[in-house]
Amino acid sequence: MAEKFGKFIETGGKSMDEIRSEIRRMLNKSSDQTTEDIPAADSTAEAIRRKIAAVVDDAKRTAQSVPRAEKIPPRPDRANISYVTGKPVAPRELTADELAYPPEPPRSVAASIEDGTRPEDRTCPEDVCRLQDAAINERIAEMRKLNEIFYNGYMLKRCAEESIVKQGLFMADVTDDYGRRAFCGTPRPIYAALSNAQLRTYFTWRTDVRRGVYSETDKPYVQLYCYELLNIIGCISAADAFGRLLDLWENARGWAGWLDEAMPRWLKDFYAYNDISEQYPDISACLKWGGGVADEKAAAMFDRHYEGCLERLMEYSAYNLRGSRFMTEDGAKLMDGALTAVLSALDGYLAERGISLFEILCGRLKKDFSWTPFAGAYVNLDRMGKFRAVRINALERYCVKRGEPVLERLEPAPCRGFIGFVLKSTEAELRRATGFRHSLTPNITMALNDFRNRDKLIAAVSDEEFTRVISEAVREWCAKRGIRPAETKSAVKPRKGAVSDETLPETPREPLNIFIDVSRLADIREQSDELTKKLIIDEEEEIPAARAEDISAEIAEEDFSERVAECTGLSRDFSELPDGWREFAARLGETELSVLSALVWGNAQEYCRSIGELPEAVFERINTAALDTVADIVIENGELIPDYEEDIRRVIACEGV
């Protein structure tokens, strides 16, 4: 390729045909050609060189005609301008906080921008404002450098609790009269997260608060002020900080309702970590708008004040005292007073055995695992005093367990069976004391079921002295008040179908003889067959309309239940039964009622075999219904529990079994 290109250059870039024609022309020339003629090869090379030189000159002229950017020379007199003073300062690198939160220009500079004048031309008052703004901006800039950073093993982190103390102490004495109000929506504010305008708005509001003016402002500013007081910043003592927190709560809760939820816990924690009992002996009296005792009756029982606690105990009782006939208006007053005496006596009885009656009736104080000191606030515990055991109220206290501060609260766990037995025993004694026409026999099993695997409680409740304490307490209470059985019983008109008290057998009870006239049942069956035959209609026979109406009237008027009741001599009516036993009777079927009747007469096993039922299966169904309605079983070891025999007899009498 190089050889071909060389030949091409030497020949002047001519083709082979052009070269041949040139040679012919040279041969045909006359012999008198002079020696001054230039050879063809030399003239071709010179022409090529001239063309190349022309192209190079054209390229140079084109490059010189294109405009180039002019480089700005450096200015050696250029300097950095201060954000605060507006004057040149030595060049330095700006910090991240200075870049994120640049301070606003002084008021004189801002005004000069509006009216077109220079800061130097302002009057003397403006110069004073400019100097004040410059001073507070410089202080804020210095404050931002006090961030506390620690290394947790794999990264650097900011410690808000320590940073807020350092920065708060640095700005504790700052006062301001900022003319603007900057909005703030930070959830948990700290100084470093607020801009200069927001900080100056806060310092202006704080200045007014220290003068006793609690103007409405954004929630983060109030929170930041609470953080200062909780860290004892800007106060002379912990008691002073506690008093200022109470003043803030009282004066700002009208427009800052969230204080009613947050302030009680912060004040309680502050009271536990700082010994200010000399200035504030009763912390509960300081919590006027929240943080009080939710269950006042439980708190009263904790302090062994049992007056008026009947309503609360009925809510947690396994025995339905509200449905008792004895709980009239007068009976309720008697129960309330007698129950106070019973609980006071039981408290002393159980206390001798190391048992707390309060824990049985209400529950016990247990550790609150969700509690952390000053939840929702930035508080440095190193600035607090020594944690101490404090009883806030009856249901809440601070203590130390395993060397750590602990908050204990009431965990409701009442023994429903025990409460039901106490109420039922008290009612039974009052019925005897007042001569009530219906007696009542409580079952101790109701209370024992609550104390499984608790040997100490079982031993205390199983002792005969336990029931004697209740009986003697009620009798003594009635004797002091002159309560005794009435001489005459009030006449009460029995309801239709009800069994009067006189018809019920007294203890010891004789078996109730029930006679069923089988012949009368046979007559009823024959009459039913005759009526069925009358209703059979042949296809050819047509019954007149008048006759059909007569037959319908006869069927409608026929009442077989009343005729069967006439044969048995008994009626079916649940209305006279108490609420619990009324539901119990309604849930039983014919088989269960018959077995109950057989249990009363002592032949339940034989009766179950005669009808093809397993006695245990029937007993289980009856006890299940009893547990759901009267909160106790009625059959034990194949026999009726003596305490419920009278109630079962009433059920059988009402059912007509």
Residue 198 parent element (H or E): helix 196-210
- What is the per-residue pLDDT across 292-314, written as a single tens digit (0 to 9) for each? 677 788 888 988 999 999 999 99
pLDDT tens digits for 636-655?
888 888 778 888 888 887 76
Residue closest to 128 by CA, chosen among 145, 108, 110: 108
Determine which helix (DSSP H) or strand (DSSP E) holds 397, and give its type and residue range.
strand 396-401
Taking the domains of the chain in order of start, what are their residue ranges? 296-362+414-480, 570-655
**What percent of the chain lies above the pLDDT cut of 70?**
69
According to the model, what pLDDT value does residue 8 have? 63
**pLDDT tens per residue, range 281-290:** 988 888 888 7
192 to 10, 144, 168, 540: CA distances (angstroms): 84, 6, 11, 107
Is residue 508 pLDDT above 50, yes or no? no
Distance, in Å, from the CA atom of 450 to the CA atom of 440, rounded to the nearest integer, reads 21
From CA 208, how far away is CA 105, in angstroms rounded? 24
Contact indicator for 216, 255 with CB cutoff of 8 Å? yes
pLDDT of residue 495: 42
pLDDT tens-digit map of 49-64: 888 888 878 777 766 6
pLDDT over threshold 50, residue 561: no
Name which residue leads in pLDDT, 637 or 92: 637
Q: List Cβ neighbours of 72 (8 Å cut-off, separation of 6 or more).
A: none
> CA 355 to CA 360: how far, in whole Å?
9
DSSP 492-503: -PPPTTPPPTTT
Angle of CA points 324, 357, 479, to nearest 5°: 55
Give the pLDDT of residue 273. Answer: 95
What is the per-residue pLDDT for 503? 42
Produce one character per residue of 454-482: b if its CB has 16 or more CB atoms within 10 Å, e if not: eeebeebbeeeebbebbbebbbebbeeee
The answer to whether 336 and 467 are in contact (CB under 8 A) is no
